Amino acid sequence: MEPALIGVRDALGPVRVRLRGGPVLSELTDRFGARAGAQVLAGEVVDAHGAVVDDATVLPAGASVYLYRDLPDEVPVPFDIPVLYRDDDIVVVDKPHFLSTMPRGRHVAQTALVRLRCSLGLPELSPAHRLDRLTAGVLLFTTRRELRGRYQTLFAQGLVRKTYLARAAVNPALSLPRVVRSRIVKRRGNLQAVTEPGEPNAETLVELQSPDGLYRLTPRTGRTHQLRVHMSELGVPINGDPLYPNIIDVAVHDFSTPLQLLAQRIEFDDPVTGSRREFVSRREEVWI
């Protein structure tokens, strides 16, 4: 966690940089350009203890400092983020397709987290879980840093019941409903997750809701791309999927063909109030 001394800018906290060792000003300027050096001279860079770094600071290899990232040029995602529910502790939204949950790689400002921090004026807003950039639907955030762990634990321990809707082709020979179990591994640097031999770590109940190809998917685990992998393995990949079964090169600014996967509903016992919570996407109306 970043030191409290350095705050949020452009709805983003600072990034941690591990140093090679030596004068900090020259290293940050060499690695990140004049903008990083200017942050040092302005007193906007701190070390791991919250002490301000200046032009005379020398730190050993392996030490860390915190500074603000430059925002990349991004194509705006032309969809709103409707708020389904908000109180002092949580915010629940209906995330659109094509919007990442939180900053990663080339997606920074055009993420649900940054856009909501700005629009709602909540600098400590944090996601309790994640949805893929291409998946739409119910997404829960906590409003204060001290609450984040309690809600994240619910998702990590499988205490949240999640229901998805998907559109895909129909195979009359496919016996449904069925529970799909497999071992899914997602390796860093690879776009696709893969199924490997071994103890299953992913489980999904797959049900056909209507003969025109509307499926209800109930994951009992939460592996990366789990629903997309399981539907592809059944021979009925989700409509609009650019990764499964084959990778399709789609421009980042092409919003014409959304993945037909919706996080329709989440249900859980609130760790703060103890009450039963249930939130349902309003986007399901266009699916049924």
For the annotated catalytic residues, the residue numbers are 132
**Cis, peptide link before residue 177, omega less than 30° from 0:** yes
Give residue for tokens 């489980």. 203
Nearest by Cα to 57 from 67, 69, 47: 47
Other CB atoms within 10 Å distance of the CB of residue 212: 8
Q: Is 232 helix (H, G, I), strand (E, B) or coil?
A: helix
Q: Is residue 97 within 8 Å of 135, Cβ to Cβ?
A: yes
Task: List the structure tokens of 209.
Answer: 């809701």
Give residue for tokens 């290293």. 27
Task: List the structure tokens of 135.
Answer: 């998946």
Task: List the structure tokens of 179.
Answer: 């529970």
Helix or strand run (H / E) with residue 2? none
Helix or strand run (H / E) with residue 268? strand 261-269
What is the Cα–Cα distance from 175 to 71, expressed in whole angstroms? 49
